[in-house]
Structure 1
């Protein structure tokens, strides 16, 4: 068996890359040596190939380990050693019909095809940078628009009511979420050394991101419950105790955020915390459930309001109908990314379009909330117009 390993090594003409060939050489060389050692152990420990017919022997090609292969093309995902390589692409290695690994016609050396690993890296980097700046722009616009919205609702006393108090808390949750996301994107996401070191500060920021992201949807749920209680349960009469809404909107999101973070701490690195933490099943299923419950509430409210309008045509019913319409528009807008997640296309251009749409729905949510609840609100427009007229 030792002789077999020596043959494998020589057959590949193995040479480790030099520091001129690969950036961040110390880390890369350590990773390759570790992978090489694991490969040789695997070659020794795996049982011999028992199937009849011709096959190519297991081997180490200098960067990756290959199992015994039947004639044809073997494939693996690209290694993560090099920054210029895309781990989502494939490496191919051809096994000839005579049971020998394919040799490159120019060098006559056994050859693995790593071409795809860096073929689209520049294009993907360009797309990634575009998405990064789109995210920064979206959250920046969201923060500015929501602060303006908060100022408007706080300044005009004529707009004050319990429903507006809920609006303000929802606006605050979107502001905090955008601030946390911008901090992550600016400080952590671009610092690979910081990500690799996985400090406690990054974990805390990730939990905060999960929590703030959750508060957005729980405050949307509060909006739906409030309207449902106001219209369907109490039939337009009486005020509600807002303490329970504060507990649901700010308190309850702590539970899924902490639970999800604890699970991720055992399973993933801090980088995967963020990549999977915001969009992976355990957390977003809870948020998706909030949206579904909200949709049920609002459809029931709509049914009651339509019935009452047919009978009374009261101005109060019309006012509530406008509030319901605004919330009904917002729910599918905020939940679009949850609907689209399972259908991520594999084709490159379609994937780019998909990621662009997902970024719009994810990072411009605060701006959408401000537009629907404030800038397109007739009561707000009327209050601002009266103020301008008084000044003039």
Structure 2
């Protein structure tokens, strides 16, 4: 396209880039990563953007540049089966993890022993991962979810919640799994490990300093 004829400049909408365009209807791809790991995108579907003689068309309610992703549907059959399997699996995990964490937290013989503290943090990361997965599924993904439009609007609340689930909690879970192995190795190498040294594990795995 001749850049001299383009009215709408090249832009990034938060999900993908659009080249400079002349006034009219502009089609874009549906980024595969917006569907998550469990969904299968339909390659024939497209996102849509409008270019007017004054620039990219904005959403009236927000007065911000807008891309229509409502056409980016997914292949439903396999996606729904995987989504249902994930909901069942994480629901069972949450039900089983809750009493386990309760025992590790409120039984005094286990509460202050370093090994059980590491166990408790690992199980807590699993629990929060399950809770965030279930919340995001029922609030954003399932049919008729109250926040389903927020996904296509790329709303900040949607991005933040999925960032916590897919990045922070996933990283924390794998970090605590590594911490379990490292702590057990150190325990085999030494008969006495001061519980205060767990601070470094808490810092690296959670990014903060919890008390226990």
Partners of 2:181 and 2:102 in 1: CA distance = 24
Residue 135 in 1 paired to residue 86 in 2? yes
Alignment of 1:103-252 (within 5 A): 124-160=75-111, 161-190=113-142, 192-209=148-165, 210-232=167-189, 235-240=190-195, 241-251=197-207
Q: Structure 2 stretches of 5 or more lacking a match?
A: 1-23, 29-41, 48-73
C-alpha separation between the residues in 1 aligned to 2:179 and 2:93?
Answer: 21
Cα shift readout 1:164-187 (whole Å, capped 9, x = no counterpart):
011111111111111111111111
1:65-120 CA distance string (max 9 Å, x none): xxxxxxxxxxxx852159xxxxxxxxxxxxxxxxxxxxxxxxxxxxxxxxxxxxxx
CA distance in 2 between counterparts of 1:147 and 1:249 reads 20
Q: 1:238 offset after TM fit, Å? A: 3.9
CA pair 78-132 structure 1, distance change in 2 beyond 3 A: closer
Q: Deviations over 1:132-185 (max 9, x none)?
A: 111111111111111111122234333441100111111111111111111111
Q: In the TM superposition, what whole-angstrom CA distance separates every residue of 1:320-373 from its partner, at most 9, and x where no partner exists?
A: xxxxxxxxxxxxxxxxxxxxxxxxxxxxxxxxxxxxxxxxxxxxxxxxxxxxxx
Work out the CA distance in 1 between the residues paired with 2:173 and 2:88.
19
Higher helix proportion, which one? 1
* Higher fraction of strand: 2
Paired residues, number:
139
- Paired with 1:78 and 1:156, the residues of 2 have a C-alpha distance of 54
Is the alpha carbon distance of 1:169 and 1:238 closer, same or farther for their aligned partners in structure 2, counting shifts above 3 Å? closer
Other structure's SS at 2:25 match = helix
Distance (Å, rounded) in 2 between the aligned partners of 1:78 and 1:245: 44
8 Å CA contact 1:222–1:248 kept in 2: the answer is no
1:225-374 matches, within 5 Å, as 225-232=182-189, 235-240=190-195, 241-251=197-207
Return the index of the structure with the highest Cα Rg.
1
Calculate the aligned-residue CA RMSD, in Å: 2.7
**C-alpha separation between the residues in 1 aligned to 2:106 and 2:131?**
24
Q: TM-score, normalised by structure 1?
A: 0.32
